[in-house]
Amino acid sequence: MTHAAPVLTTERLTKAYGARQAVSDLDLEVHPGEVFGFLGPNGAGKTTTIRMLLGLVRPTRGRVALFGRDLAMHADDVLPRVGALVEAPAFYPYLSGRDNLRAVASVLGAASQYRLDEVLELVDLRGRQRDRVRSYSLGMKQRLGVATALLDDPDLLVLDEPANGLDPAGIREMRDLMRSLAAAGKTVFLSSHVLAEVQQICDRVGIISRGRLVEVAPVADLMTGRGEFEVHTDDPAAALLAVLGQSWGATARIEAGALVAASPTGRGWGLLDFLVRAGFRPDGLVERRQTLEDIFLELTGTGHGALN
C-alpha cells in the first residue's frame, strides 16, 4: 500500500440531530488507490457520514479533508475531484444511455463530453449505449450511474450501496467494475451491505455501529480469524478438558463434534504437538477462518436482517 498522503481524512467527525448523535467522533483515513469498504447496520450513520464527506451535510463538529485540504474551506477546489453515487440514479427513460450521459456532461463542462466513450467502455455499456434506458436492467442502470460519477475523471469515487437491489449477475458485474476502477488508479470509498462482495474487492474496511467506528483493518487481517483451529479426535470431550487446563486454552470448545481451540504457539503444529503429548490422536487439523459477515455480526451485535 502506498505511503502517499491520504485521499480522504476525517477527524472527530460528528453529526447530531438534537439530542441524537448520528455520527460520533469518526476518525478515518483512505489511501490513494485503495478500495475502502464502509460497513454498518441500518441506522449506523453510514449515509450521514457519506453526505458529510461530500459537503451535503454540515458536521456538528470535526472536519473532513479531501486530498489534504479542508473541505469546509476548499470545497470548490476539491469536490470536482470526487465522483459520487449516493442514491439510485435517476435517468430519462426515453433517452439512450449515451444521451443521458451527454446531458450530465453538458452541465459538468466541455471536458466531460470527450469522456463519453471512455466511461461507457469502463462500465461495459459501449454495446448498449444507443438503447433507451427504459430497456436497461437494474444492474445496467447502476453501472450507468457509476459512469456519470466518472465523467469528470475523478480521483476519488464515493459509492453508496452500488449493488443495492441487484441480482447475482448484476452484483458480479459491479464487482468486476470496482476491480477495474481500482486497477485504473481510482480510489474507491464503497458503502455496501453485500458483505461477500466487500470481502472480495476491498483492501480495507471500516465498520461503524451506532455512529461510532468499531473497527478499521485490512480485510486480509480480519479474515485470519482469532488463531483458532478445528481438530478431530476420538475423544473430543477429554481433549477439551486437557486444553481448558492450559493458560492459552480458555476459549476452547466443542463444535459439531470437533475440538475448536487456540494453539500454544499460534500455529497449528503447536496444538497438534500438545494433543499428541497429552495422549490424543488428532485425525486432522483445519485453521478456522472467519468471513467478513461473521466479523461484522460480532462487532455490531446485529442479526442477519440488519445489514442494509
Q: What is the pLDDT of residue 305?
A: 43
Q: What is the pLDDT of residue 14?
A: 97
Residue 39 bridge partners (DSSP): 207
Q: What is the pLDDT of residue 109?
A: 73
Could you state, in order of their start, the residue ranges of all structural domains in the chain? 8-217, 229-287
Q: What is the pLDDT of residue 111?
A: 63
For 184-225, give the secondary structure using H, E and C: CCCEEEEECCCHHHHHHHCCEEEEEECCEEEEEEEHHHHHCC
Q: What is the pLDDT of residue 223?
A: 72
Contact in structure between 203 and 223 (CB atoms under 8 Å)? no
Q: What is the pLDDT of residue 226?
A: 62
Question: CA 127 → CA 116, 136, 219, distances in Å?
Answer: 13, 12, 35
Place of cell 478438558: 241
Residue 160 bridge partners (DSSP): 191
What strands, in cross-sheet order, belong to the sheet with 187-191? 82-85, 156-160, 187-191, 35-39, 204-209, 212-218
Task: Flag residues of the chain having pLDDT under 70.
Answer: 1-3, 110-112, 224-226, 302-308
Q: What is the pLDDT of residue 166?
A: 84
CATH homologous superfamily of 8-217: P-loop containing nucleotide triphosphate hydrolases (3.40.50.300)
**How far apart are alpha carbons 148 and 121 in whole angstroms?**
13
Structure confidence by residue, pLDDT tens digits, 1-49 = 446 789 999 999 999 999 999 999 999 999 999 999 999 988 899 999 9
Phi, then psi, of 208 in degrees rounded to 5: -115, 140
What strands, in cross-sheet order, belong to the sheet with 284-287? 253-255, 258-261, 229-232, 284-287
**How far apart are alpha carbons 116 and 98 in whole angstroms?**
7
Q: What is the pLDDT of residue 149?
A: 93
- Among residues 294, 276, 277, 293, the alpha carbon closest in space to that of 285 is found at 276
